[in-house]
Structure 1
């Protein structure tokens, strides 16, 4: 079986994790729900004032990633002496589970009808502490057996592009502008109400490109190019920030595909250092692109 990609929604040792989940977690399910509801309340108190609106929608809509990340950090920093009595048993159950070898990690994937989702996978329980980030009428926290949750890995960059267009009403183009990053970040995404971004700035997608010999990246780099005007606007911003950009889309496409081939043929040689350097450069490029804001779609 293939090793897990970062944040991949999959359980490697299902039988062992199921035994530990049944032994330690399921008997304390009400207390666990109370614990996560309590933590979600403390997260809201911090996040809501910091980001009251995201892409034109009020908190918590669209804030699945932020809430999930905050929950993971809250669990690390948790002081059980500060918990309300009803949540103490939930924390104790988690502690017993982890001491026995239970696993806990953040995952990201596609859930039918709800799009791309971030959650915590604890044993064989999926903890979605941001259910209401996709639908305000839903309860904020759900604890669901992973086998029933329907959270699946994204297949490739084309799958990501289709989901981004459907979920965010985004315009998605191949990254012919910055070919040096294209094998790892082959898409440029314009989300209404947000900024232009090089994607995917998600560790899973970066690792997926690498594991598949960059075939996933090469496939979307062959998509139709953006207009010359849009290419010029993005290239100008990145050039001013010190990046080496392509002269035009055909040149960028050829250079990007050539790098995909080079990285594929190089195999694991120098791959780790290149991966880390890419993460740093990608973050810097997206900071520069924040000046290019995408007009929000009119309401209704």
Structure 2
């Protein structure tokens, strides 16, 4: 069995189901109230701090930030458990229960961040796409509709339907193409930029030694001139393509990275992520 990618849904085997049943299943109403209170603490911290996302006020579009902050608060509270729910969650984890953040495609409609507790799906940002929904949703993971992103094609399909994105091959910044092979633009939602810099997708590109990335770079359309200008205007010159054939340069970057074993080199990965941040900063 392949090791889990960052934020991949962990299999809820018989042991996880038993731990969930023992410690959590009978407490769903209690857990819902607990996570609503946790969400209120998150909202107090983030609502005044985060600007509107695509012109819509908090919490719209802030699934990642809310989930990350809720998980951080949770990891601070459980070692100092003060309530019965704290104790139940701490005992669940101490006995080997899975507690992790997860990310994937929800009901084949949009990208979603959530928390996994054994065989339970806990969404503490359930209202960040539809503000009329409850803030917190707790379901059996098997009934949640959350799926791992299977491959680059699955990511592209979801980005196109959820973001209304136009997607192109990253022939612009070839050294980043093995990890970030897509250029996306979504008018009114996402400015032109590279996809996807989340840990899961970067690890997914490394898992097959950049072969999915290479295939897209070979077959995907190049960015139109206006999109290319928007991306290149932010990126430092040392990241720009330097040959007369940027498409081949991006493909070659994948092949060289594979040959050099970069898919297992965390320092190489971290250096590329820092380059990506430089490409967004200017």
- Tell me, what secondary structure is at the counterpart of 2:172? coil
Instruction: Indicate conservation of the 8 Å contact 2:170/2:194, yes or no.
Output: yes
Give how far 1:242 is off. Answer: 4.2
Instruction: Indicate conservation of the 8 Å contact 2:192/2:230, yes or no.
Output: no
- Confirm or deny that 1:230 pairs with 2:227: yes
Give how far 1:232 is off. Answer: 3.4
C-alpha separation in 2, matches of 1:63 and 1:100: 32
Q: 1:233 to 1:269 in 2, by over 3 A?
A: closer
C-alpha separation in 2, matches of 1:93 and 1:77: 15
Summarize the alignment of residues 46-195 of structure 1 with structure 2, pairs less than 5 Å apart: 46-78=45-77, 88-112=83-107, 114-193=109-188, 194-195=190-191
For structure 2, the 5+ residue unaligned runs are: none
Give how far 1:192 is off. Answer: 2.6
Instruction: Indicate conservation of the 8 Å contact 1:198/1:286, yes or no.
Output: no
Deviation string for 1:54-81 (max 9, x for gaps)? 1122221211111111111110222798
Corresponding residue for 1:7? Answer: 7
C-alpha separation in 2, matches of 1:125 and 1:229: 45
TM superposition outliers: structure 1 runs of 4+ over 6 Å: 79-83
Calculate the TM-score normalised by the size of structure 1: 0.86
Give how far 1:268 is off. Answer: 5.8
How many corresponding residue pairs?
280
Q: 1:180 to 1:59 in 2, by over 3 A?
A: same
Summarize the alignment of residues 275-294 of structure 1 with structure 2, pairs less than 5 Å apart: 275-288=269-282
C-alpha separation in 1, matches of 2:240 and 2:199: 24
For structure 1, the 5+ residue unaligned runs are: 289-300
- Confirm or deny that 1:208 pairs with 2:207: no
Give how far 1:103 is off. Answer: 1.6
Give how far 1:52 is off. Answer: 4.8
- Tell me, what secondary structure is at the counterpart of 1:53? coil
Instruction: Indicate conservation of the 8 Å contact 1:131/1:141, yes or no.
Output: yes
Give how far 1:284 is off. Answer: 2.0
Instruction: Indicate conservation of the 8 Å contact 1:34/1:90, yes or no.
Output: no
Q: 1:145 to 1:270 in 2, by over 3 A?
A: closer
Corresponding residue for 2:256? Answer: 262
Select the residue among 192, 196, 200 that pairs with 2:192.
Answer: 196
C-alpha separation in 1, matches of 2:37 and 2:276: 35
Instruction: Indicate conservation of the 8 Å contact 2:177/2:250, yes or no.
Output: yes
Give how far 1:160 is off. Answer: 1.6
C-alpha separation in 1, matches of 2:263 and 2:197: 23
C-alpha separation in 2, matches of 1:273 and 1:82: 37
